[in-house]
A and B are shown apart, each in its own frame.
Chain A
């Protein structure tokens, strides 16, 4: 059974750094892209970017380029989303997703709630 299990909720202050994770299991982690989707409180879905763990090829939505870093450690089947300096506007639920093909996201993580507040 394919599963994406994300790290737990985080509460951070503006300016702090953060790295959240998404562990894939039940499939060949290096053979599928894995991406991230943001959902701000009460708002819609926004696609952030995606990585191919097999060769670390990474693509970012123009809206998120330079704002976050996506990485993966194939030795532990885990993808990461990180910020170097959080802002209050980064407060959101973040989902990792695994596309079957293209951007057909057939598997989703349970979500990680990130709260940034002074």
Chain B
């Protein structure tokens, strides 16, 4: 199985800060990686697909990059409404799709 190592597990930043989350795959997954946002008590929401494509309607302060084994998710200017847990997800080969462990983002 492909393992996804997501870091950090939590972070605290100020409004307006640049926030970066990384996800490392245990083997090459090309660009088969998505990023989701989950707010407390809600279902997750797709933000970035295929490593770097912004989902329709998602603010442009969110972005993703990377390919192969190393991926990065960035919030260019943290806003209060961005408080959530963020997950990466690889889908290189069915049925062994996996999510990262999640990163909880809080406001300092």
Which residues, 7 to 27 on B, are CB-close (under 8 Å) to A? Answer: none
> Within the complex, what minimum Cβ distance (angstroms) separates A25 from chain B?
16
- In the complex, which of the residues B32, B101, B102 contacts A102, with contact meaning CB atoms closer than 8 Å? B32
Main secondary structure of the interface of B (DSSP, over half): loop
> Within the complex, what minimum Cβ distance (angstroms) separates A29 from chain B?
19
> Within the complex, what minimum Cβ distance (angstroms) separates A60 from chain B?
6
What's the tally of chain A residues with a CB closer than 8 Å to chain B?
Answer: 21
The answer to whether residues A49 and B95 also contact, given A103-B89, A106-B55 and a CB cut-off of 8 A, is: yes
Count class of interface residues, chain B: 20 to 34
Digit string of A14-46 for contact with B (CB within 8 Å is 1, else 0)?
000000000000000000000000000000111
A42 to B99: give the CA distance in the assembly, Å. Answer: 15
A71 to B34: give the CA distance in the assembly, Å. Answer: 26
Interface residues of A (CB under 8 A from B): 44-47, 49-50, 59-62, 95, 100, 102-106, 108-111
Which residues, 34 to 51 on B, are CB-close (under 8 Å) to A? Answer: 34, 36, 38, 43-46, 49-50
What residues of chain B lie closer than 8 Å to A47, measured between beta carbons? Answer: 89, 97-99
What residues of chain A lie closer than 8 Å to B91, measured between beta carbons? Answer: 102-104
Interface residues of B (CB under 8 A from A): 1, 32, 34, 36, 38, 43-46, 49-50, 55, 87, 89, 91, 94-102
> Within the complex, what minimum Cβ distance (angstroms) separates A115 from chain B?
16
The answer to whether residues A59 and B95 also contact, given A104-B46, A106-B46 and a CB cut-off of 8 A, is: yes
With a 10 A CB-CB cut-off, give which of B36, B43, B44 has the most chain A CB atoms: B43
> Within the complex, what minimum Cβ distance (angstroms) separates B102 from chain A?
4
Taking a contact as CB atoms under 8 Å apart, the answer to whether A104 and B44 are in contact is no
